[in-house]
Amino acid sequence: MLEVCVDSAASAIAAERGGAQRVELCSDLLEGGITPSNGLLQVVRSRVSIPVHVIIRPRPGDFVYSDDEFECMRRDIEIARNEGANGVVLGLLKQGGVVDVERTGELVELARPVSCTYHRAFDMSANLDQALEDVCLTGADRILTSGGEQECLQGIPALARLVEASHGRVKIMAAGKIGVQNVATIIEQTGVSEIHAGLATPVSFVQQNSRVLSLGKAADREFQRTQVLEESVRSLVREISATAQGMHRGS
């Protein structure tokens, strides 16, 4: 299973054409992804036939949310489900890096019958092994994780341990700088059955007039934009398929 992270209809279409089996829909990927607009979800849902999972993250920053932010998440889940999303992607922590089991479980229950992924807030937890047990208590279907490291390759030992410790109670989906150059190693050494990749390619900024002003706080990257390319997805799908076939023959 390959899930591709997208922030536009063009990227979602390219992901499907390239052979991805699912997309995670976000906005503002430069900040790690926040809840997309209802309009974006509607357009993407109308343009692709593969499952669309929507991130439910009301703001950038940490994953300790106020009561008002939690209410926003509840309402965004209801909107996403009603607009045809096949799943939601969320994660809540308490102070000290502990999974917020009670409130996460409440959101998982609210989202049903759609699928629920606990995202990389998991990697920010103080203890991955305890976080695994806590996420299992929430009823979530999968955990998106790099094994607690910045990049997935560095987290291979932890990922392998998590796959074994999960005992099928929750799926472990590997993430974090995954591409054709390393996906085979990750699959072979961890045993994960799902891969999450960004595959974003920078898009040149084109300004028709000579005046360019900074309108936000991150002036150095305000006009950066990326897009998923069909061929990038297709290349990764080929590598995943070849790896799976090789492992099957080896068994």
**pLDDT digits 0-9 by tens, 193-250:** 999 999 999 887 666 555 666 666 666 666 678 899 999 999 999 999 999 988 877 7
Q: CB-based contacts of 163: which residues, under 8 Å, 6+ apart?
A: 172, 190, 191, 192
Average pLDDT over residues 79-98: 97
Average pLDDT in the chain: 94
Q: What is the pLDDT of residue 135?
A: 98
Closest by Cα among 73, 72, 104, 81 to 91: 104
CATH topology of domain 2-250: TIM Barrel (3.20.20)
Specify whether the CB–CB gap between 80 and 115 falls below 8 A. Answer: no
Give the pLDDT confidence of 134-165 residue by residue, as tens digits: 999 999 999 999 999 999 999 999 999 999 99
For residue 173, pLDDT beyond 70: yes
Q: What is the pLDDT of residue 211?
A: 63
Q: Which two tokens stand for residue 171?
A: 């799926």
Give the pLDDT confidence of 108-118 residue by residue, as tens digits: 999 999 999 99
Q: What is the pLDDT of residue 250?
A: 74
Average pLDDT over residues 117-134: 97
Confidence of residue 47 (pLDDT cuts 50, 70, 90): very high
Q: 156-166 and 128-138 helices cross at what angle (nearest 10)?
A: 40
Alpha helices, H only, 112-145: 128-138
Q: What is the pLDDT of residue 206?
A: 63
Beta strands at 87-90 and 115-118: parallel, antiparallel or unpaired = parallel
Under the phi-then-psi rule, with left for phi > 0, alpha for psi from -120 to 50, and beta for the rest, what region is 191?
left
Q: CB-based contacts of 245: which residues, under 8 Å, 6+ apart?
A: none
Q: Could you give phi then psi for residue 76, rounded to 5 degrees? A: -65, -35
Q: What is the pLDDT of residue 26?
A: 97
- Total length of the chain: 251
Under the phi-then-psi rule, with left for phi > 0, alpha for psi from -120 to 50, and beta for the rest, what region is 154?
alpha
